[in-house]
Chains A and B, each alone.
Chain A
Amino acid sequence: CCGLGMWRMSSLLSFSILFLACLAGFSSRLFAVIRFESIIHEFDPWFNYRSTHHLTTNGFYEFLNWFDERAWYPLGRIVGGTVYPGLMVTAGLIHYMLNLLHITVHIRDVCVFLAPVFSGLTAISTFLLTRELWNQGAGLLAACFIAIVPGYISRSVAGSFDNEGIAIFALQFTYYLWVKSVKTGSVFWAIGCCLSYFYMVSAWGGYVFIINLIPLHVFVLMLMQRYSRRVYIAYSTFYIVGLVLSMQIPFVGFQPIRTSEHMAAAGVFALLQAYAFLQYLKDRLTRQEFQTLFLLGVSLAAGVVFLTVIYLTYTGLYAKIHIPIIASVSEHQPTTWVSFFFDLHILVCTFPAGLWFCIKNVNDERVFVALYAISAVYFAGVMVRLMLTLTPVVCMLSAVAFSSVFEHYMGDDTKREKPPQEKAEEGLGPNVKSIVTMLMLMLLMMFAVHCTWVTSNAYSSPSVVLASYNHDGTRNILDDFREAYYWLRQNTDEHARVMSWWDYGYQIAGMANRTTLVDNNTWNNSHIALVGKAMSSNESAAYEIMRSLDVDYVLIIFGGVIGYSGDDINKFLWMVRIAEGEHPKDIRESDYFTPQGEFRVDKAGSPTLLNCLMYKMSYYRFGEMQLDFRTPPGFDRTRNAEIGNKDIKFKHLEEAFTSEHWLVRIYKVKSLDNREPLDHKLRSVVPRQKYTSKKVTGLLYVCT
């Protein structure tokens, strides 16, 4: 009776802790909504939102067959076959269910709040996984950690409607089901794992991590001679069903049987069958030594194949890093220790301790978590955006470390019930214990404070709406982006084509509903290079390119008035580099530098820069503007320089719109004049000199 009561008590406690963790996770992601409004953030989410909107208005099949003629003009984009549809389908489904229950919400609100809701689910699945690995207490700690850790919040604040938001839940849940199926060896759990894997494949390209980690786990288990029937059943089921299911996603298609990333899984599958077969033979044969030798050979060969595959993928990744368009994205950079600490705080120093405990008390599933930690930490070191896959395992292992400490230092109440002779043997003393507990709790409190600060300051900006603070703490909202996009929506022709750098493609399509030339789905490098070339050429050369691309409007971002550093002039060198990659004869990066190798916008800047289209569009009439009395007119606050070319005149373009803080400037491309005006001088009426030589005069007359 008493035991049952304890059990009930503890499950109630677990439930409420989990519930509170979900709540904390949900509410700490709402900074952006409370400060600004319920709005979709950044760039990629705008595309996801637009596709979800298309899905809810036109239905699923229409969405799968969607050919978007408003992007990549004049090429267009096949959307249905080039996206991971999991996110849109999830949001669409929730919207459908809610409307079925007559809870009428707009699809935008579903999209905005999807990621925080899924963070709650992630906390629950992390709890389940950690409970399988260690114990209930560690599970609860892990759930609390993952709910508030900045490394995960960075991708799942309200409004960041992106694949990663739901993919981390799918990742953790797949791993939970996998561990469960290895533990039980039942087909039921393995099929559950496959379904969860299917959801993951439909949601994010990071599913490749799962399809490599699970085979690695099986392979290491075999090497450690921990092979068992449970592993055989789990992996065979998972591989076959998971393979078939993953190939149902149009974007993935036949990749799982073609590309090198998936070959490790196939190799391990074959190896597992061979191993199982040998195990079967072993029961019937006696030549054991021969067998072990054979086994060793087979596993060595498989290991070599495995390493080669990993090496090939690594070199492939490495080559990709050096392509300018990939290098230009800041997410593809390696990670400094500061970002590790910033995103994980105390967890980054304590999770190795958890790893130590897991390896010291190893079993099948702890092998899995150790491999997970080691591979994820490697990938996070190579690329900063993969910090996201590291974060869950760090939370789990730190929870293991903290919970083992708390287990020994907090639990003196239960110890008292034990016989007294044991108590004499025990006893670090209650003082030491309580001091340790207090200090540990203090560390965790610091962690919570740090997480809240990081979330509120670094990860909760929608970057569609900017905010600046005055000295007295009042806030200015800079809503230039939406102002400009709304202007485009209201004042331009419905089929107008807007040229901008690719960063703004999704936003123009989503908010202004106009045709774009390039967007954030950077599948066609040469098209982007053409836009880059237009931006970095002089006006007449750019006009020819723009005519050939049917451009009606050009949109640029200019931060010189308010000191916004993410504007187009600061991105300009990437435009030049990408253009140079495709048109090395016309665009040279060195032309845009001063002879000393500096990139300057003032008088000392290179003349090519001062006359290129991007410069002219950014600084048109800026020379007339004096921002304050300490600086000269035409002083650029972002680059802290007085601009070098104040007398800018356009021949083929005209200014159409400039937003309140000059953040967005839109230019209209004029159509051709009726007649090309000739650049001739006025005819001079002064009589010419008479030439004396008769022979030559005849010739000269012909010339004139």
Chain B
Amino acid sequence: IYQCLSCNKHRSNNSRQRLLRLKYFLYFYYFQIFCLQTKKVTQMMEWTSKRSVIRMNGDKFRRFVKAPPRNYSVVIMFTALQPQRQCGVCKQADEEFQVLANSWRYSSAFTNKVFFATVDFDEGSDVFQMLSMNSAPTFLHFPAKGKPRKTDTYELQVRGFAAEQLARWVADRTDVQIRIIRPPNYAGPLLLGFLLAVIGGLAYLRRHNLEFLFNKNVWAFSALCFVLIMTSGQMWNHIRGPPYAHKNPSTGQVSYIHGSSQAQFVAETHIVLLFNAAVTMGMVLLCEAATSDLDIGKRKIMCVAGIGLVMLFFSWLLSVFRAKYHGYPYR
């Protein structure tokens, strides 16, 4: 339009009136655009106030994202959440996206510059066709000005879908810094409280007979459990989250032991825990056999069982270790 105006100015010596009319028309036009924009922003804000991620179908998408007058960025997750689609990743990604959107919605820096929306394949398959997209979940950013560029597509394969990574991407694309605030997980403390309540209740019920608190076997057994859990690398599992076992996709063979000494599967740690426990039990049996006041036959059996447990399970443990630690020379 501005070009038009300048063209007019140059090309001909038209009357001033016509120019003025055009000017008014332009003002009116801008005003209209402004009105439309404000209307759209108010609508978007209203939706966002209801739920931090706006659900969109094809129609809404065209009106609020595709159609031009727009002064806000929209970050859209294209997904397929319907159960019949069987998209497990979508669900996890959706949770992270919700965390991101909520962190933005309830932060003090919340403005109408960025909105978060989602398009489900079963509600807006036409959108998927329009953008020629055939995988879900996908995160796209529609900037306020200009067309989406290559970097406006989130590299899901590279960066993963953690909310923190998404927030960095959003900050990169829109200059809006979002501090991720995860809703605290109350399950752990609640469970602990429940457990404590149960124990307290039991103690109260049996308050005349608190013998079980002084039972050394119980304490020794729980200490042993803790120690065995720790020495079999369960803490590593907790922090790193490895798979339970690995299934070779071509042969279908399931391997329970990880080939490298730097990593481990969950199944493997359970096996090791069992082996360690068996060796410990063998040692204890050996001592019991020598000290207990059972008859001699039983004690002999205990003794043989004890030494058998120690030797057998220790040699198995050693062979598992050998399989993992390449170049270990001893059997």
Contact = CB atoms under 8 A, between A and B. Distances in A.
B310 interface: yes
Interface string A442-460: 0100100110010000000
A338 B264 contact: yes
**Does more than half of chain A's interface fall in helix, strand or loop, or is it mixed?**
helix
Most-contacted residue by chain A among B228, B230, B286 (CB, 10 A): B230
A349 B227 contact: no
A105 interface: no
A485 to B, nearest CB: 31
Contacts of B239: 334, 382
**Does more than half of chain B's interface fall in helix, strand or loop, or is it mixed?**
helix
A94 interface: no
A359 interface: yes
Interface string B309-331: 01101100100010011000110
Interface of A: 334-338, 340-342, 346, 348-353, 355-357, 359-360, 362, 370, 373-374, 377-378, 380-382, 401, 404-405, 408-409, 427-429, 432, 435-436, 439, 443, 446, 449-450, 453, 584, 588, 590, 593, 595-597
B220 interface: yes
B147 to A, nearest CB: 20
Contacts, number: 152
Nearest to B324: A338
Most-contacted residue by chain A among B159, B262, B284 (CB, 10 A): B284
Contacts of B276: 348-349, 352
Interface string B294-314: 001001100110010011011
B231 to A, nearest CB: 5
Contact of A334 (B235, B284, B310): B235
B280 A341 contact: no
Contacts of B166: none
Interface string B234-263: 111011100000000000000000000111
Given A335-B233, A336-B233, A443-B310, A341 B317 contact: yes
12 contacts: A336-B233, A342-B321, A356-B220, A378-B235, A380-B230, A409-B286, A428-B290, A428-B300, A439-B307, A443-B311, A584-B171, A588-B172
B233 A381 contact: yes
Contacts of A341: 317, 321
B235 to A, nearest CB: 4
B307 A435 contact: yes
B158 interface: yes
Given A334-B239, A338-B264, A362-B216, A377 B300 contact: no
Given A353-B280, A590-B158, A590-B159, A432 B304 contact: yes
A431 to B, nearest CB: 10
Contacts of B223: 355, 359, 370, 373-374
Contact of B325 (A342, A349, A405, A432): A342
A377 B226 contact: yes
Given A334-B235, A337-B272, A436 B314 contact: no
B42 to A, nearest CB: 33
Contacts of B283: 350, 353, 401, 405
A340 B231 contact: yes
B33 interface: no
B157 A597 contact: yes
B158 A357 contact: no
A1 to B, nearest CB: 32
A346 B317 CA distance: 10
Contact of A405 (B217, B228, B261, B287): B287
A355 B264 contact: no
A349 B279 contact: yes
B31 interface: no
B233 to A, nearest CB: 4
Most-contacted residue by chain B among A337, A350, A352, A356 (CB, 10 A): A337
Nearest to B226: A374
B230 A377 contact: yes
